[in-house]
Amino acid sequence: MSGVPLFNLAPNLTVSRLCLGSMSFGEQNTLAESFQLMDQAFHAGINFFDSAEMYPVPQRAHTCGRSEECLGRWISQRKIPRDSLVIATKVAGPSGQMTWIRGGPKCLDAANITEAIDNSLLRMQMDYIDLYQIHWPDRYVPMFGETEYDPVQQYASISIDEQLEALSAAVKAGKIRYVGLSNETPYGLMKFIQVAEKYASHLKIVSLQNSYSLLCRTFDSAMAECCHQESISLLAYSPLAMGILSGKYFSPGGGPTEARLNLFKGKYSEGESRYNLSKKIIKAATMEYLDIAKTYGLHPVSLAIAFVLRHPLVASAVFGATKSWQLQEVLNACKIELASEVIEDINKIHLRFPNPCP
């Protein structure tokens, strides 16, 4: 394998700087198509694959878990050495909607975390998970486009101590190697790190998977300082802002009918609330970034991915692809270095349109 740069995320955990997300596997992509995409990614030098127990999206009872199953079957059928891959997945936080996942799931207590880990291992047909992440916090936090914390919405939640004790037990049992957080706040990250010191001899939080793109740079405020000071790496998800930054939704007719925001219109609230092109500020900012790409002779995908990868705290960009040519565009992007004048122009747009997709 060659072509994609590597990053040392933790001791004995080297990841490719591109991470193929599997949230389309089992929904937009058939098993055969998923295999083809993973083959292409692996042979190009990607060793890092990300999933979640709730995938694919949009989440539905009869498809839940298929993404992990696709990933596990690919590894098994292709006979890929397990130690040549870094497999990440996630436990779903509280959700009254997904009643098919442990009855809600109502909370992230020890029993829920343990059951989720065991189920993921069964679906993926493997003995251990390299990076296990809490998909979103058990406690109330503003997420998926919300930006303001409302103390009135706080509810009783499972203690971070209990969550980490369950994860610590899984590490001791050899079920998971490292722990990561996702959709977290600076407070949450620091609190998890503080509590994790109890288990410092064997439990290590190594990553934060939050949104980061040209349209969402909220990480760069308080969270960036926390990650820098605590040696936590960012796994930047939605580097293409759910495909908006590729420019495909600006083609005649509003883009391909099979594009996610068109295919699942009205069925994927988490994505639509954040990446809504009917909001003038999102459309205006995106158009200006697309103009920058055109001015400098760059593919829009190259501009978006290269911008994310140049960040000193980003270990890997977590992206999705449903077509071979989309995957190839991202692979091409990791070879691009943006000139200083490109960054200057990007920052000028950011000053006028700060974080339209938080």
- Is pLDDT at 330 greater than 60 in this prediction? yes
Question: Amino acid identity of 216?
Answer: C
Residue with structure tokens 């979103």? Answer: 136
Instruction: Evaluate whether 257 touches 33 at the Cβ level (below 8 Å).
Output: no
The encoded tokens of residue 74 equal 């690919």
Residue 7: strand pairing partners: 15
Q: Mind listing the pLDDT tens digit for each residue in 166-192? A: 999 999 999 999 999 999 999 999 999
Phi first, then psi: what are they for 347, rounded to 5°?
A: -70, -30
Closest CA to 23 of 320, 298, 279, 313: 320
Q: What is the pLDDT of residue 74?
A: 98
From 133-137, 250-254, 335-339, the region with the lowest mean pLDDT: 250-254
Distance CA 272, CA 263 (A): 12
Q: What is the pLDDT of residue 208?
A: 99
Distance CA 18, CA 6 (A): 9
Q: What is the pLDDT of residue 106?
A: 86
Distance CA 90, CA 179 (A): 10
Q: Mind listing the pLDDT tens digit for each residue in 39-73? A: 999 999 999 999 999 999 999 999 999 999 999 99
State the alpha helices, DSSP H only, in the chain: 31-44, 66-78, 110-124, 160-172, 186-196, 222-230, 260-263, 269-274, 280-295, 300-309, 324-333, 340-352
pTM score over 0.75: yes
Q: Is the dihedral of CA 190, 222, 53, 206 positive or negative?
A: negative
- Is pLDDT at 138 greater than 90 in this prediction? yes
- Model confidence at 96, pLDDT cuts 50, 70, 90, reads confident
Residue 178 appears among annotated catalytic residues: no
Q: In residues, how long is the chain?
A: 358
Q: Of 55, 237, 249, 289, which one is the catalytic site residue?
A: 55
- DSSP for 36-102, written as a single string: HHHHHHHHHT--EEE--TT-SSS--TTTTTHHHHHHHHHHHHHT--GGG-EEEEEE----SS-TTTT
Closest CA to 182 of 136, 234, 242: 136
Could you give the 3-state DSSP secondary structure of residue 240? coil
Distance CA 223, CA 170 (A): 27
Domain architecture of the chain: domains with CATH: 6-242+303-336 (3.20.20.100)
Instruction: Evaluate whether 49 touches 327 at the Cβ level (below 8 Å).
Output: no
Q: What is the pLDDT of residue 1?
A: 47
| HSE-CB for 352 with a 13 A CA cutoff | 13
Terminal Cα distance for the chain, rounded: 35
